[in-house]
Amino acid sequence: MAAPAPGGEAFPYDDAGWAAFHAREESRLAAVDAAARGRARDSQQDYWDKRREHAARWLERTPDVAVPALPSGFPAHNPIDHFLAHKIVDYRAQARAVPVDGVDFWREIHPILEARCLECHQGGKAKGGLHLDSRGSALAGGEVEGPAIVAGKPEESPLMRRILSSDEDERMPPLGGRLAASEIELVRRWIAEGAVWPEFRPLPTDLTPPADDLAFLRRVTLDTVGVVPTVAEIEAFQADASADKREHLIDRLLADPRSADHGMGAWQDMLAENPNILNPTLNNSGPFRWWIYESLLDGKPLDLMVTELLRLGGSAKDGGPAGFAFASQNDVPLAAKATIVTTAFLGVETQCARCHDAPAHSARQEDVFAVAAMLATKGVKVPSTSSVSLEKLREGGRKPLIDVTLEPGVTVEPRWPFTMFAPESLADTLALDPSDSRDRLAALVTAPENERFAQVMANRIWARLMGRGIVALPWDWERSATSHPELLRWLGRELVRSGYDGRRIARLILTSHAYQRTNDPSLAQPSPLFTAPAARRLAAEQIVDSAFVAVGKEFRTEDACLDIDSIRDTDNSIDLGRPRRAWMLCSTSNERDRPSLSLPRIQAVCDVLGAFGWRASRPDPLTERESAPSALQPAILGNGTMGLWLTRLSDDHAVTRLAIDAATPEQFVEQLFLRVLTRRPRADERARYVSLLAPGFAARRTPPAAARPAATPRRPPYYVSWSNHLDADATVVRQAEEAAARQGDPPTALLADDWRRRAEDALWSLLNRPEFLFTP
Amino acid sequence: MNRRDFVTALGLVPVCGPALAATSVASTPRGKAEHCIFIWLGGGMGQIDTFDPKAVGDNRAGAKKPGALYPAIETAVPGVHVCEHLPRTARLMERMTAIRSVHHKVIDEHAFATNLVHTGRMVSGNAVYPSLGSIVAHTRGAADPAVPAYMLIGYPNVSRGPGFLGIKAGAIYLVDTETGPAGFMPPPGVDAESLARRHELLRAGAADAVAGTAPADYAEAQREAFRLAGPEFLKHFRLIDEPADVRESYGGEFGQRCLLARRLVQGGVRFVEVSHNLNFINGAGWDVHNDGIVNQHVLIRELDNALAGLVSDLAAHRLLDKTLVVVATEFGRPPEFDGRGGRGHQGTAFSMVLAGGGLAHRGVYGTTDELSKTVVDAPVGIPDFHATILAALQVDPATELMAGSRPVPVTDGGVPVSALFG
């Protein structure tokens, strides 16, 4: 029997036929959706034409940033390399001025400042107006005592007096105990020697050469589409003999729809996308991930995307960014969103300003609530739960380190607080509807006059690709050093010039010589001179997605849904679909601890993701995840359930096919290395793996006739859903599912058992190498 | 080889915040406990049917009469009664204190209340507060380098997680006593020969990483992980090594989890959360709406066996004074019955239990009205409950944790119940 489909094509009415039909329908419907989104965007085309025109005029009337001439002896692919080279030359000149044998400021003094002083003495709210994050400001001093340091004269330096003082009100630092005697002596000597303070710590200034083809291919593929390259992609790239093959590769990858998948993690973190499949609780937002994904897929300009977000249109559950407005069980959801907006798009950290004026930043609580009111389109009341009682603080005795200038119970009206970035009046002409405060907020955030926005977005892209921002903390510019201010402004203008196309900035960075250099294996992070990249630990999603792609096993989990027969209201239960990439997973929401509500396969993958820094629940925004190594990571990857699925040679595993078809053990080993590590084995590696796999290689295949595949009875499996999960049977069924997930798929009968185990060991050992987890 | 312990390998290094306020030690109650076994009764244990029994009502009549479902029995503490389905616990009551005056205002939703009782705070969009287990792990670390500080027998979720304290303060978990801790059991179907081959191949491959770089640090963490997945840690999970009569004294799977918790505590784990989630006894577990209440007594008996078994066994091993046993739940249940004779949720008054830990136990603390609807005497808020547990575990309640640069008091103004510190 055949099932006729629209267009007349017939599909056989069997499993394979259904799969083919399903795939075709999915891509057809995706195209229908994309076309509909396109038409919706077209309906706003007049407004956006006006915005582009406005941006073009702004670019014309504001001075361009001059690209410096390339110093001799430096390679360059584009202006980025010019800016970087210029700075390196400048730094070399500074380095020649540092005295030999004196106190090493960066090695000995800066760690003290960073650990004990900079918390309070930097940024917009530096205590006493004293900034200790640069020599100039330390010498200029603060409001209370004038210069903190008198070069050459420690006895006249107030900083010295304070760290020696035994008077509790005078002593610095005020918390955590006095500095150690050895530290005090170091500071004294350093001041006596003239308080030499170079802009950067000693840095190598030699550039590393360009990375070889395969290292470059792996790195750029991971950095654009979030997975390692396939063998076909490797062969195609190596076969390409054109001079600009790298640029072509970059263009192909940036246009690849998988780049939208790769972009998701950063956006979900930045916007605290936090849906729950069972009852919105604990700061859950709606599932606006789909809107993020479509925006990335459609290549929306960043100003348009952020404008859509802030207008909060669409449905909270069914599409569009309205789900961003929600934070369940939060006392003032829109104040939480205001913090997200300022950190994500303006580099202004307002986390502390939620309940009181930020102690070390210029942001005040009133600013956060003013933005919240703009999002609310009306006044927002400050509840007592979002405030701190000053009486309680004063109980401690010492003057509180925070200010509370906003009384609880006060209503804050909509107001744009960031007039240093753009004047509020700009919204009168630029906003889609100037009487709507959300439109005004969107216009003021994304206007080209707001250079901060373009630079923040460009810096975020730079930080992800280069391993270090031009502005060190992409979400908190007040507390960050900026290594290349001119380059930053140039990139900001390029972003505006491109129509806010983030891919243009990505392309500039990826095509630069600086991005393509060989890693310096001695670096944990690139230096602020960007002379050489450092190996970067992959994000959790990259690790998981790459592992499945590399070994060729289908990413297969349950539906991300606890109500698969849909008896509950969508206000309480939503379906996040069948995940095909890590970003589509979510918290398994089993606060009730019921085995019948577990999702074992999703949990197995979440265990790996969580160990590598992914968050199942994202109640607050984040830019930089934890990336420190912990023994839990190799444990869960190497011994855990997901690792078992990846390394068990089952019938549906690509390496099983490879093993069966390989002509020689050498060929098999080479294929494994290419798939997993994007390189060929070295001679010693080849020898070791071939000696493992050569014995029994010739006889490894079981004749298909003799191989008895496991018979699976055709019977609809029981399903467990919210509707029946309280039945005793539901627990039994689910526990069987848990056990099945832990056991993995049975090994193939087509390979001799002993040889198969050795092949699995070989695969496991490659997948679990540290090399797999870092950019080459 | 430089032996790095489980604690530092997983990064579970105890760190005290720099801003330790100076409080007079003499005025702050301070216990002697070294470990905590935190029994979590998910769903909301009805206090009136367990530790705070009142006059019997009737849930079968057309017009239901509010009250307890079961008659009460005397306990080892004169004047103190518990429900008849807690007979073994009743006989051990002098080693326990049922705090009957716990209260909060979050009753609508399980996750919200679970989060409140685990973290001691209302949910915020600005900081993800750590669970009690993570706080204890962070401040005290493990008692033995070969084991983690914090373990969970149950499902991981954000309420049990470390929040702003980071992965280092998280739990190693297992879903039941058969399967073992995730990531530390050898995978099924991989024999010893394969394991040896894998590690040999890895060792050879990891030689290239330059010392002090991130890949080298990861390789170091990897060597530690594989050592930790060895017999020294895994031996604690071999319940088969326990005498049969001991295993029987604890009862079914839930009891076996408590037994495993005792072994883990003996091994040096600082905080073990044991969840009671085997809902095939009565379907809804402790969340006895409607018909769920029909077999509630079976659940209570299971708790009775496990709790009494645990307390007796800890005493037998001379561990009871050093181990604080907590029986916690997200809220209680009202004395009124719902349409089908079950009970809804109630936060105005409910019971949680402390046992052992060297506290001055008194059977009960705090009083509720004649239907256990409201607290009449000695209210204990959730922050106070946390402060009591932390004080018992020798964590100064004035400690401040650091969320980035923001000092966060270890409890939200909680005051330990001084009567329990003798």
Q: Do A354 and B126 touch (CB under 8 A)?
A: yes
pLDDT range class, residue A176, cuts 50, 70, 90: confident
Query: Pick from A523, A626, A631: which is nearest to B225 by CB?
Result: A631
Contacts with B170 from chain A: Cβ below 8 Å: 632
**Contact with chain A for residue B128, Cβ under 8 A:** yes
Stretch 304-363 of chain B: residues touching chain A, C-beta under 8 Å: none
Residue B22 has pLDDT above 60, yes or no: no
Give me the pLDDT at residue B419, please: 95
Give me the pLDDT at residue A205, please: 87
Contacts with B287 from chain A: Cβ below 8 Å: 592
Give me the pLDDT at residue B19, please: 35
Look at chain B and count its residues.
Answer: 422
Contact B286, B42 (CB under 8 A): yes
Residue A64 has pLDDT above 90, yes or no: yes
Three state DSSP letters for chain B: CCCCCHHHHCCCCCCCCCCCCCCCHHHCCCCCCCEEEEEEECCCCCHHHCCCCCCECECCCCCCECCECCCEEECCCCCCEEECCCHHHHHCHHHEEEEEEEECCCCCCHHHHHHHHHHCCCCCCCCCCCCHHHHHHHHHCCCCCCCCCEEEECCCCHHHCCHHHCHHHCCEEECCCCCCCCCCCCCCCCCHHHHHHHHHHHHHHHHHCCCCCHHHHHHHHHHHHHHHCCHHHHHHHCHHHCCHHHHHHHCCHHHHHHHHHHHHHHHCCCEEEEEECCCCCCCCCCCCCHHHHHHHHHHHHHHHHHHHHHHHHHHHCCCCCCEEEEEEECCECCCCCCCCCCCCCECCCEEEEEEECCCCCCEEECEECCCCCCEEECCEEHHHHHHHHHHHCCCCCCCEEEECCEEEECCCCCCCCHHHHC
Residue A508 has pLDDT above 60, yes or no: yes
Residue B112's Cα: distance from chain center in Å? 17
pLDDT range class, residue A713, cuts 50, 70, 90: low
Q: How many CB atoms lie within 10 A of CB B29?
A: 19
**Which residues partner with A315 through β-bridges?**
A319
A286-290 long-range Cβ contacts below 8 angstroms, 24+ apart = A286/A315, A286/A316, A286/A317, A286/A322, A286/A323, A286/A324, A286/A325, A286/A326, A287/A317, A287/A323, A287/A574, A287/A576, A288/A320, A288/A321, A288/A322, A288/A323, A288/A324, A289/A264, A289/A576, A289/A583, A289/A584, A290/A319
Question: Which regions of A394-523 does DSSP assign to beta strands (E)?
Answer: 411-412
- Nearest 5°: the CA angle A85, A86, A89 is 85
Contact B168, A630 (CB under 8 A): yes
Give me the pLDDT at residue A403, please: 80
User: What average pLDDT does the segment B305-311 reach?
Assistant: 97
Contact B279, B268 (CB under 8 A): no
pLDDT range class, residue B14, cuts 50, 70, 90: very low
Q: Do B405 and A119 touch (CB under 8 A)?
A: yes
**Contact with chain B for residue A620, Cβ under 8 A:** yes
Cβ density class B299-316: b for 16+ within 10 Å, e for less: bbbbbbbbbbbbbbbbbe
User: What average pLDDT does the segment B37-64 reach?
Assistant: 94
Reported as a single tens digit per residue, the pLDDT across A90-143 is: 888 877 766 677 788 888 888 899 888 888 888 767 888 888 888 778 888 888
Output the CA–CA distances (angstroms, integers) from residue B14 to A343, A745, B181, B214, B225, in the order listed: 31, 41, 22, 23, 19
Closest-CA residue of B relative to A755 is: B194
User: What average pLDDT does the segment A230-246 reach?
Assistant: 96
CA proximity to B239, closest of B161, B177, B157, B187 = B177
Residue B2 has pLDDT above 90, yes or no: no
What dihedral do alpha carbons A399, A401, A403, A404 form, nearest 10°? -90
What is the distance in angstroms between the Cα of A679 and the nearest Cα belonging to chain B? 14
Residue A714 has pLDDT above 80, yes or no: no
Contact B373, B100 (CB under 8 A): no
What phi and psi, each to the nearest 5 degrees, are found at residue A215?
A: -65, -45
How many Å apart are CA B243 and CA B314, to the nearest integer?
A: 15
Domain-wise residue ranges, chain B:
27-141+272-421
Q: Is the torsion defined by CA of A594, A596, A601, A602 positive or negative?
A: negative
Give me the pLDDT at residue A128, please: 83
- Tell me if ipTM is over 0.95: no
| Single-letter amino acid code for the residue at A567 | I
pLDDT range class, residue B417, cuts 50, 70, 90: very high
**Contact with chain B for residue A176, Cβ under 8 A:** yes
Residue B332's Cα: distance from chain center in Å? 17
| Residue A54, C-beta contacts closer than 8 angstroms, at least 6 positions apart | A430, A447, A448
Please tell me the least confidently modeled range out of A27-36, A187-196, A501-510.
A187-196
**Residue at token pair 């990336």:** A627
Query: Pick from B110, B127, B183: which is nearest to A639 by CB?
Result: B183
pLDDT range class, residue A420, cuts 50, 70, 90: very high
Contacts with B154 from chain A: Cβ below 8 Å: 593
CB pairs under 8 A between A and B: 262
Residue A351 has pLDDT above 50, yes or no: yes
CATH class entry, domain B27-141+272-421 = alpha beta
Reported as a single tens digit per residue, the pLDDT across B336-354 is: 999 999 999 999 999 999 9
- B199 exposed, middle or buried (CB, 10 Å; 0-12, 13-18, 19+)? middle
Give me the pLDDT at residue A4, please: 56
Query: Pick from A396, A762, A770: which is nearest to B21 by CB?
Result: A396
Reported as a single tens digit per residue, the pLDDT across A602-637 is: 999 999 999 999 999 998 999 999 888 888 899 999
**Contact with chain A for residue B207, Cβ under 8 A:** no
Residue A67 has pLDDT above 90, yes or no: yes
Give me the pLDDT at residue B24, please: 42
What is the distance in angstroms between the Cα of B212 and the nearest Cα belonging to chain A? 8
Residue A580 has pLDDT above 70, yes or no: yes
**Which residues partner with A482 through β-bridges?**
A471
Proportion of chain B above pLDDT 70, given as a percent = 91
CA proximity to B132, closest of B149, B107, B112 = B149
Contacts with A762 from chain B: Cβ below 8 Å: 201
**Which residues partner with A12 through β-bridges?**
A2
Residue A552 has pLDDT above 50, yes or no: yes
Residue A725 has pLDDT above 50, yes or no: yes
User: What average pLDDT does the segment A649-673 reach?
Assistant: 96
Interface test with B, best of A269, A355, A592 (most B CBs within 10 A): A592
Give me the pLDDT at residue A7, please: 63
Q: Do B285 and A594 touch (CB under 8 A)?
A: yes
DSSP A444: H
Output the CA–CA distances (angstroms, integers) from residue A156 to A108, A187, A643, B145, in the order listed: 21, 13, 63, 49
How many Å apart are CA A315 and CA A336, to the nearest integer?
A: 20
Alpha helix segments (H runs only) across A531-653: 540-551, 600-611, 632-639, 641-647
**Residue at token pair 């941006």:** A55
**Both tokens assigned to A766:** 């490659």
**Residue at token pair 């007039």:** A419
Contacts with A594 from chain B: Cβ below 8 Å: 42, 277, 279, 285
Contacts with A635 from chain B: Cβ below 8 Å: 183-184, 225-226, 228-229
Closest-CA residue of B relative to A768 is: B202
Closest-CA residue of A relative to B18 is: A176
Give me the pLDDT at residue B71, please: 97
Q: Do B189 and A336 touch (CB under 8 A)?
A: no
Q: Do A607 and B10 touch (CB under 8 A)?
A: no
Query: Pick from A352, A522, A591: which is nearest to B111 by CB?
Result: A591
How many Å apart are CA B318 and CA B341, to the nearest integer?
A: 43
**Contact with chain A for residue B228, Cβ under 8 A:** yes
Contact B392, B2 (CB under 8 A): no
Provide the mean pLDDT of chain B.
88
What is the distance in angstroms between the Cα of A82 and the nearest Cα belonging to chain B? 29
How many Å apart are CA B356 and CA B298, to the nearest integer?
A: 25
Residue A220 has pLDDT above 90, yes or no: yes
- B170 exposed, middle or buried (CB, 10 Å; 0-12, 13-18, 19+)? buried
Residue A16 has pLDDT above 60, yes or no: yes
Give me the pLDDT at residue A204, please: 84
Q: Do A688 and B204 touch (CB under 8 A)?
A: yes
| Single-letter amino acid code for the residue at A708 | R
Contacts with B126 from chain A: Cβ below 8 Å: 336, 339, 351-352, 354-355, 620
pLDDT range class, residue A695, cuts 50, 70, 90: very high
Residue A711 has pLDDT above 70, yes or no: no
Q: How many CB atoms lie within 10 A of CB A63?
A: 8
**Comparing B260 with A730, which gets the higher pLDDT?**
B260
**Both tokens assigned to B206:** 């990891």
Query: Pick from B154, B191, B218: which is nearest to A629 by CB?
Result: B218
Proportion of chain A above pLDDT 90, given as a percent = 68
How many Å apart are CA B168 and CA B11, to the nearest integer?
A: 5
pLDDT range class, residue B283, cuts 50, 70, 90: low
CA proximity to B366, closest of B47, B67, B27 = B47
Contacts with B208 from chain A: Cβ below 8 Å: 771
Q: Terminus-to-terminus CA distance in chain A, angstroms?
A: 52
Give me the pLDDT at residue A3, please: 53
Output the CA–CA distances (angstroms, integers) from residue A707 to A710, A714, A748, A759, in the order listed: 9, 20, 9, 19
What is the distance in angstroms between the Cα of B94 and the nearest Cα belonging to chain A? 31
Q: Do A352 and B406 touch (CB under 8 A)?
A: yes
pLDDT range class, residue A366, cuts 50, 70, 90: very high
Give me the pLDDT at residue A336, please: 93
Q: How many CB atoms lie within 10 A of CB A432?
A: 18
Give me the pLDDT at residue A570, please: 85
User: What average pLDDT does the segment A654-664 reach?
Assistant: 96
Q: Do B214 and A537 touch (CB under 8 A)?
A: yes
How many Å apart are CA B173 and CA B150, to the nearest integer?
A: 9
Q: Do B225 and A613 touch (CB under 8 A)?
A: no
Stretch 135-164 of chain B: residues touching chain A, C-beta under 8 Å: 154-159
Residue B23 has pLDDT above 50, yes or no: no
How many Å apart are CA A263 and CA A258, to the nearest integer?
A: 9
Closest-CA residue of A relative to B275 is: A593
Annotate A533-566 with DSSP letters as a single string: ----BPPHHHHHHHHHHHHT-------S-S-TT-
**Contact with chain A for residue B15, Cβ under 8 A:** no
Interface test with A, best of B12, B158, B220, B294 (most A CBs within 10 A): B158
User: What average pLDDT does the segment A734-754 reach?
Assistant: 92
How many Å apart are CA B370 and CA B300, to the nearest integer?
A: 22
**Both tokens assigned to B29:** 């109650």
User: What average pLDDT does the segment B305-324 reach?
Assistant: 97
**Both tokens assigned to A645:** 């699925």
**Contact with chain A for residue B218, Cβ under 8 A:** yes
Rounded to the nearest 10 degrees, the angle between the axes of helix A540-551 and helix A258-270 is 160
How many Å apart are CA A284 and CA A546, to the nearest integer?
A: 29
| Residue A281, C-beta contacts closer than 8 angstroms, at least 6 positions apart | A328, A329, A591, B109, B111, B112, B115, B123
**Comparing A467 with B406, which gets the higher pLDDT?**
A467
Q: Is residue A99 reached through a cis peptide bond, with omega within 30 degrees of 0 on the bond before it? A: no
User: What average pLDDT does the segment A402-415 reach?
Assistant: 89
**Contact with chain A for residue B109, Cβ under 8 A:** yes
